[in-house]
Structure 1
Amino acid sequence: MDIEENRALVARARVHAALGEPARLAIVDHLALGDASPGEIGQRLGLPTNLLAHHLKILDQAGLIRRRQSEGDRRRSYLHLVPGALAGLLPAPLRHAPRVVFVCTHNSARSQLAAALWARTGSVPAVSAGTSPAARVHHHAVAIARRHGLSLASARPRHLEDVLRPDDLVVAVCDNAHENLGDRLGGVDRLHWSIPDPVRAGTGTAFEHAYTDIAGRIDRLAPAVHHPRKK
């Protein structure tokens, strides 16, 4: 066995060891389709703070998760799975919803790109909306969509209140929207993707990074969302 093969084997063993504890596996399962803050994870799984910190440290050392500071409440951070870290080991927790609603604050970039990408991949319909819609879709979002064979020419920002239905699956693609919504959606099924705002940077590169991040997440989520009336 050469050095590179041994390094790969050690890295794989570290991942398997990290996933060999039920609580850590539950954390990874929870992060499979969306991001969450440590507090949200602890509350969801009923883990005390010290034990949660221990499990997160092990998952981080195994290269499975990363933290990203919230762009909304800077005191918060969100955990997300490292793309490709599980390479086929990741289960696909099923979600049943007749429609997916992608939400960001202004509905001018990330949520519009997500809905357009979903239309090419998902098996259920999707729309986008904002918690404080802008006047128009950002020109960089239109350009990056065109570059990847999508069209946002007819897209218009809309308010979430004008779009949302009780049985929708809501995917917040920005920290501000996720935090502003809080518990206001009641029992509506929700996911959160902590995707940096490309409008802040205002560059084509930032929009390309956002597009790539969204595309990878949709590839994971789309096979797991089924219409409740379809077998």
Structure 2
Amino acid sequence: MTAELLSVQRRARIHAALGDPARLAIVDALTLGDASPGEIAHHLDMPTNLVAHHLKVLTDAGLVVRTRSEGDRRRTYLRLQPAALAALTAPSLAAVDRVVFVCTHNSARSQLAAALWRQRTGDLAASAGTRPASRVHPRAVKVAHRHGLTLDPTGTAHIAEVIHDGDLVIAVCDNAYEDLTNHTDAGPVRPQLHWSIPDPVRLDTDAAFETAYTDIAARIDRLAPTLTTGADHA
């Protein structure tokens, strides 16, 4: 059995253990400190036999361990295992040299994503388009400036000029993703990730570009901790 499958199965057991409101309440109660089973029962106003059942499930899932009191040896205390909760996060992606964000015209979403990635991670990033425009959209430049980013108004490029082996390619629009995955003449470029971010140019308002920026920023914050880039493993 592969390590990846074992990891998924372990995470599934933890999720299942946390799927009961009473067990989640027990985990919450142990988040900041240890407690005895009797204290848990009192705190949650729960019968001791029911507490015992839930504790067995949590223990079997590796979320809780029992320790014997160093004072009164008849007492046991429950301790939360934070590493088990940390295991709920998805495994890290394989190491990559650089992140390249792709959209159709390379005029808004992909430009903002690359600039944001560089700002928030300090790592290499680039952007490209399947049918690049001649310039970056003025509203993209404007929202970038508002958030302390700099975009080159004429800095658009075609994917063939940008993407190399070792890049993590992220399609930030549906059209580019579908062009690169559905068409046999799209070449060797295939996005490893797809972010379905609505095109702000369709509405062409400052609010639409701000919404796109916020969506991209949140996705970058989720992805960055899972990724090892060339700068990290050089």
TM-score bucket of the superposed structures, by smaller chain: 0.5 to 0.7
Name the Cα RMSD after superposition.
Answer: 2.9
Bigger helix share: 2
TM-fit CA distance, 1:222: 1.3
Retained in 2: the 8 A contact 1:166–1:188?
A: no
- Given the alignment of the two structures, is residue 224 of structure 1 paired with residue 226 of structure 2, yes or no? yes
The match for 2:38 is none
Question: What amino acid sits opposite 1:191 in the alignment?
Answer: L
Question: What amino acid sits opposite 2:134 in the alignment?
Answer: A
TM-fit CA distance, 1:19: 8.5
Structure 1 moving runs of 4+ over 2 Å: 16-20, 88-95, 183-189
Larger Rg over CA atoms? 2
**Structure 1 segments unaligned to the other structure (5+ residues):** 1-15, 21-87
Retained in 1: the 8 A contact 2:168–2:191?
A: yes
Counting matched residue pairs gives 152
TM-fit CA distance, 1:182: 1.1
> Within 2, Cα distance between the matches of 1:134 and 1:202?
16
The match for 1:205 is 207
Question: What amino acid sits opposite 1:129 in the alignment?
Answer: A
Counting aligned pairs with the same residue, the percent is 57
TM-fit CA distance, 1:227: 2.8
> Within 2, Cα distance between the matches of 1:187 and 1:141?
25
Retained in 1: the 8 A contact 2:172–2:197?
A: yes
SS at match of 1:102: strand
> Within 1, Cα distance between the matches of 2:162 and 2:140?
21
**TM-score scaled to structure 1, two decimals?**
0.59
The match for 1:99 is 98
Retained in 2: the 8 A contact 1:100–1:168?
A: yes
Question: What amino acid sits opposite 1:230 in the alignment?
Answer: H
**Structure 2 segments unaligned to the other structure (5+ residues):** 1-14, 20-86
Retained in 2: the 8 A contact 1:109–1:138?
A: yes
* 1:119-138: CA deviation from partner (whole Å, max 9, x where unpaired): 11225310000000001000
Retained in 2: the 8 A contact 1:168–1:188?
A: no
- Given the alignment of the two structures, is residue 156 of structure 1 paired with residue 132 of structure 2, yes or no? no
> Within 1, Cα distance between the matches of 2:91 and 2:151?
30
Using a 3 Å threshold, how does the CA distance of structure 1 residues 226 and 144 change in structure 2: closer, same or farther? same
> Within 2, Cα distance between the matches of 1:105 and 1:136?
13
* 1:97-132: CA deviation from partner (whole Å, max 9, x where unpaired): 011110000000000000000011225310000000
